[in-house]
């Protein structure tokens, strides 16, 4: 019984391209009391894997939170898998404004303590006692009321590229940080103000609305379906958008445009820009805003230091980050003294520029992801002392001078130029399908690591 992924992201992307069929990017959530999250998780994996549904999903005793990519032709069958559960019948699916067939490349369903980490330890807090839901038109109307306070319950790197005009935008990196900050700021307005809140898809502000009702706030409202649903409704109903800029999303796109206003700056040069990227240095991966000019000049890096590291031999790069890579502690969310034009907290509602014609979203992801590659085989042995890897060539030919990419869950993504190899035990410059290839490698390999050959291509 398969309850985990068997294909890499690269292999899945190739299959999606070969299929040539439309996929829909969507999100949904539901707060409910789930007795056995592990059993629930396994049942969902079996059902969704059979439909080629991909995504990042969290389940807990308090409910489910999902961001997914589903083949358009399987949407009805997908809905049926949801409606098999009482608490997900007639559930709202937030369908993305922009679609990208590569928005998700794996089906990952994880069991968590909570679907939204809140840092609260209060057994009397009822997460299902939520505030009043507002549709787009109702939301626009209440924003015009002078007794309304609107709060953005997203993080600084999300609100920086787009937000509702006049909103409080806390300078935080997590949802749990925002709760005590907003609680302190609004403690004198429990009865005399409309507390209106929003987030990306509704899940964070739904919990926040229940929390502030628990604290005694009388007039608590939330944007139904979050910014994603708001964008869909204003387009369908011809309403004015009170949201300005771009909506940050948690998939490979990193954002979808709501209005053509650019309200943020390139963190390196200050030019109007709202395209996020991750630093190419594997020991950094800082999330930051970078314009096309800086992307070309800095090669997707956040600083000269990181740029210099990416130019070192792979063995040297591994030594530099050895012992430092500790999960999410490495992947910072846009806070660095190296970013001269980073802004958080109180944000402007003024448009700095208008967005030009949309470029290929995947161009913004990462230079690595633009490379074309061919799967050669899998590592069958690694000689630790000699630092030599062995694999059987399953496809095409291999020549000295070719660039190899070795991929594995522990190894990561490592690249090297093949300067010398042995073919069937003898030194040679060419290997054919079926040959056993051994080669020196400056980093540790694991059995079943996949070996790819980087193919020449035109990046223009």
Residue 253: phi, psi to the nearest 5?
-70, -35
In this predicted structure, the answer to whether residue 372 has a pLDDT above a threshold of 60 is yes
**Set 199, 266, 284, 294: catalytic member:** 199
Check if the beta carbon of residue 177 is closer than 8 Å to that of residue 169.
no
Lowest-confidence segment of 10-14, 245-249, 309-313, 368-372 by average pLDDT: 368-372
> What percentage of the chain has pLDDT greater than the value 90?
56
Lowest-confidence segment of 405-414, 422-431, 445-454 by average pLDDT: 405-414
The tokens 């054919």 sit on which residue? Answer: 432
> pLDDT, tens digit, for every residue of 325-360?
544 444 456 678 889 888 777 788 899 999 875 444
In this predicted structure, the answer to whether residue 19 has a pLDDT above a threshold of 50 is yes
Structure tokens at 103: 């928005």
In this predicted structure, the answer to whether residue 247 has a pLDDT above a threshold of 80 is yes
Considering the chain, what is the average pLDDT of its residues? 86
> pLDDT, tens digit, for every residue of 261-300?
999 999 999 999 999 998 988 888 899 999 999 998 998 8
Per-residue model confidence (pLDDT) at position 204: 92
CA-to-CA distance for 308 and 127, rounded, in angstroms? Answer: 49
The yes-or-no answer on residue 273 being catalytic is no
Per-residue model confidence (pLDDT) at position 263: 94
From 255, 210, 268, select the one nearest 228 (Cα to Cα): 255
CA-to-CA distance for 445 and 381, rounded, in angstroms? Answer: 8
Segment 36-62 shows an average pLDDT of 93
Per-residue model confidence (pLDDT) at position 420: 94
Cα angle 248-252-256, degrees, rounded to a multiple of 5: 35
Segment 163-169 shows an average pLDDT of 94
> pLDDT, tens digit, for every residue of 389-423?
999 998 889 999 999 999 876 677 889 999 999 99
pLDDT band at 455; cut points 50, 70, 90:
confident
Per-residue model confidence (pLDDT) at position 16: 77
Segment 431-440 shows an average pLDDT of 94
């Amino acid at each position: 019984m398969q309850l985990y992924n068997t294909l890499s992201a690269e292999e899945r992307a190739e299959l999606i391209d070969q299929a040539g069929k439309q996929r829909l990017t969507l999100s949904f959530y539901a707060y409910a009391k789930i007795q056995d999250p592990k059993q629930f998780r396994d049942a969902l994996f079996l059902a969704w894997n059979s439909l080629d549904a991909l995504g990042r999903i969290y389940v807990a005793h308090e409910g489910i939170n999902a961001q997914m990519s589903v083949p358009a032709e399987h949407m009805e069958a997908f809905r049926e898998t949801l409606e098999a559960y009482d608490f997900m019948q007639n559930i709202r699916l937030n369908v993305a404004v922009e679609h990208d067939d590569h928005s998700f490349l794996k089906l990952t369903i994880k069991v968590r303590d909570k679907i939204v980490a809140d840092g609260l330890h209060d057994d009397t807090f009822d997460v299902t006692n939520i505030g009043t839901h507002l549709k787009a038109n109702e939301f626009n109307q209440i924003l015009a009321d002078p007794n309304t306070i609107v709060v953005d319950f997203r993080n600084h790197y999300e609100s920086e590229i787009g937000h509702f005009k006049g909103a409080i935008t806390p300078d935080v990196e997590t949802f749990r940080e925002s709760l005590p900050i907003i609680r302190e700021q609004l403690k004198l307005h429990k009865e005399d103000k409309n507390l209106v809140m929003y987030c990306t898809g509704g899940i964070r502000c739904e919990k926040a609305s229940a929390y502030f009702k628990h604290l005694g706030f009388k007039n608590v409202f939330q944007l139904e379906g979050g910014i994603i649903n708001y964008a869909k409704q204003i387009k369908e109903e011809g309403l004015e958008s009170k949201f300005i800029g771009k909506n940050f999303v948690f998939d490979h796109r990193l954002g979808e445009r709501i209005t053509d206003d650019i309200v943020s700056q390139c963190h390196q040069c200050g030019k109007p820009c709202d395209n996020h990227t991750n630093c190419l240095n594997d020991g950094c991966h800082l999330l930051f805003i970078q314009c096309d000019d800086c992307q070309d000049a800095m090669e997707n890096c956040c600083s000269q230091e990181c740029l210099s590291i990416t130019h070192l031999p792979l063995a040297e790069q591994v030594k530099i980050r050895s012992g430092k890579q500790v999960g999410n502690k490495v992947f910072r969310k846009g806070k660095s003294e190296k970013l001269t034009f980073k802004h958080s907290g109180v944000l402007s509602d003024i448009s700095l520029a208008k967005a030009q014609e949309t470029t290929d979203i995947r161009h913004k992801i990462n230079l690595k992801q633009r490379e074309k590659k061919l799967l050669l085989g899998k590592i069958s042995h690694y000689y630790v002392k000699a630092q030599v890897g062995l694999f059987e060539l399953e496809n095409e030919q291999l020549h000295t001078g070719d660039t190899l990419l070795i991929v594995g869950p522990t190894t990561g993504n490592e690249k090297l130029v093949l300067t010398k190899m042995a073919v069937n035990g003898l030194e040679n410059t060419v290997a054919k399908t079926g040959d056993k290839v051994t080669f020196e490698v400056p980093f540790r390999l694991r059995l079943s690591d996949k070996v790819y050959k980087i193919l020449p291509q035109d990046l223009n």
